[in-house]
Structure formats: structure tokens, C-alpha cells
Structure 1
Amino acid sequence: MTMTAATVGPQRYQERYAARLESVTQARRDIALVLQTWGLPQLVEVAAQVVTELVANAVEHTDAATVGASITRVGKESARIVVTDTSRTRPTPGTPSQDDEHGRGLLLVDALAHAWGSELVRGGKRIWAELRVPAAC
């Protein structure tokens, strides 16, 4: 008789952080550690950039008391980052001039993620970004 383990769901990590700029660093570290643990070190740098931008935006542009961040492994070499807050205002990429020091966060997320978007949910919104290990050249 052969037995196999039943799938219980995807690998997932989630945490809530105080809506302070210091939490950006902690969220970035937590997500990087999770990816290392899952054996996806190729995604650490990109995930660090994406989670930094998304959590920083939630902290800076909402009046939320806390910000949620999660990462779910959605494939052998892919993961989905989700950041939640209590604002009902959906993010839109900026159109900064060359001299602007801010306003490029979502443009960076768009450039780094395979796909990204936002959804209104009960109690606020979620912004998600899907990351994939690049194909070997």
C-alpha cells in the first residue's frame, strides 16, 4: 500500500505591523527570511524592494494603525506578496518629473513584479504583487 501526504494548502506567512516607517524594515526582513527558508533566495532582492515600497506606501499614504503583509508560495518558483491597510483609496502609479524625489514606488513594483494590482476588501484594501524566479538565460 502506497500512501502520499495530502496537500493542506500553500506555504504562507503573514504578520501585522504598526503603521510606522520602522515597520518597513521588519517586514522586509521577515519576507526575506521566509523566502530563504522556502529555498527561494533568487526572489529575496526583488521581494525586498516590492515589500518595502508597498508597506511604505501604506504607512505614508493612509491613516491605518496597522499594516498587514503576507507572502504565499504559489508555485515552485513563484510567490505572491500582499499588503493590506484600512484605506479604501486604491493606489495609482505616479508620474514624477526627473526632479521629484518621491512618486516612483508603484512604477518600481510594476517593473519588478510579474503582475500586480489592488482590490477593495471589507475593511480596506489589499495590494498584491506576484514574483517569479527569472528563467535562466
Structure 2
Amino acid sequence: MTSLSTAVQAASVGHPAYSQTFPCEPSTAEPGRKLVRDVLGIWHLDDLADHAALIVTELIANAARHTPCRSIRLIVGRPSAERVRVGVVDREPSRVPALSQADADDESGRGLLLIDAVADRWGYDLHGSDRRPWGKEVWAEIRVKDDE
């Protein structure tokens, strides 16, 4: 069993979740992947680690590239026994993700396409009131295999 080397917040009620705040920069992808892998190890879901690591890498890259935020919150949760959700919360509600096609010679722009390919579903939720959202969570879910 793996153990988390840094303190993270865990859900005190409801479905289990772990979250941690990180700087909003591309280098956060490495500790983000480690957190996701550690959490999945605790839940005995190591077989989902590669897809979840790819998802968190792309979510962090998108937040770092498309928002002026100084920090993001990475959340790894189990909204149900059948699903794992990886999400990144930032404070830029006006920049919502949109799936687009990158040209063959583009060096970026494929992150959501990759997420769409490996996740069972993905989306975003605005945080705050309808009139004054303060941020958003971009998330992706992976289905837990039936034999778990």
C-alpha cells in the first residue's frame, strides 16, 4: 500500500476525496501525478493510475496556460463506488474549457482531446453564485472496472 507523504484534506463525510492546493504552474504536474497515484493506491485502484495521471497532467497544464491564477486545488474523489473523479479548481470562471481540433503542426491544443479519449466523461462546474461565480472546477471521471 502506498502512503501520502504530504498532508492532504480528506472528505469528512460522504464519498472519499483528497485535495491539495498547488501553485498554478506546469511543474505542478509532477506532484499532482504523485498525489493521484498515491490516492488510487490507497483505494486499491492502481490500474486506473496511468489514465488518471494523464488527466491530471492535462488539467494542470490547461489551468497554467489559460488562467492567471496563482494557485489551483487538485481534487481526487469517488463520487460513487463506480467512478473516480480528478478535478482542478481555479479562480477564473470566465475561461471555460471547450473541445477543439488542433492542426497537425500545432505544438499544443490537444489536452482536452486526450482527456476525452481516456475519461468516461468530463466537464466543468462553476463555483459561487450564478450571478457571481468565483471559480470553476474542470473534472474528468474514470469508471472503476467491475472486477474491483
TM range (shorter): 0.7 to 0.9
Any stretches of 5+ residues in structure 2 without a counterpart? Answer: 1-12, 129-133
What is the letter of the counterpart of residue 124 of structure 1?
A: G
- Counterparts of 1:22 and 1:91, CA distance in 2: 21
Provide runs of 4+ in structure 1 moved above 4 Å. Answer: none
Q: How many residues align?
A: 130
> For 1:1-137, what aligned pairs fall within 5 Å after superposition?
8-88=13-93, 89-122=95-128, 123-134=134-145
Per-residue deviation at 1:17?
0.3
Residues 56-91 of structure 1: CA distance to partner in whole angstroms, max 9, x if unpaired? 110111000101110112333421111110112101
- Counterparts of 1:42 and 1:76, CA distance in 2: 15
- Alignment RMSD: 1.7
Answer whether contact 1:93 1:103 (CA < 8 A) is retained. Answer: no
SS of alignment partner, residue 34 of structure 1: helix
- Counterparts of 1:32 and 1:64, CA distance in 2: 25
Any stretches of 5+ residues in structure 1 without a counterpart? Answer: 1-7
- Counterparts of 1:78 and 1:42, CA distance in 2: 13
The alignment's TM-score, normalised by the length of structure 1, stands at 0.87
- Counterparts of 1:64 and 1:20, CA distance in 2: 9
What is the letter of the counterpart of residue 76 of structure 1?
A: A
The alignment's TM-score, normalised by the length of structure 2, stands at 0.81
Answer whether contact 2:32 2:74 (CA < 8 A) is retained. Answer: yes
